[in-house]
Amino acid sequence: MADLFFQAFELMLAGMGVVFVFLIVLTAAVTVLTKLCPEPTEASVSASSSEPAHAASANADKLSNATKLAAVTVAVQRYRAARDQAKDEQE
């Protein structure tokens, strides 16, 4: 019986060791990739780009915000209509 517990303990340690080593390798790989391919910051993007490109980006952001606002407005209207309809059916 003790031999079975010892084998289970060895298997548990081996599994935990494999997971630990995998996580260390994954963390190292992400760190190396982050250093090799950094994301451009806004300062470097705006310094390297021309003004019309920045204006186009601002217009795209405004359009995106307008689209999101329209989607939320429609969702709220549909929710309220469905809630009112359910309330009417209960009465």
pTM, to two decimals: 0.42
- 41 in helix, strand or coil? coil
- pLDDT tens digits, 2-51: 899 999 999 999 999 999 999 999 999 999 999 999 887 776 655 555 55
With CA atoms as reference, report the closest residue to 57 among 45, 75, 73, 69. Answer: 45
- pLDDT tens digits, 79-90: 999 999 988 888
Structure token pair of residue 1: 């019986």
By residue count, the chain amounts to 91
With CA atoms as reference, report the closest residue to 45 among 36, 56, 53, 33. Answer: 53
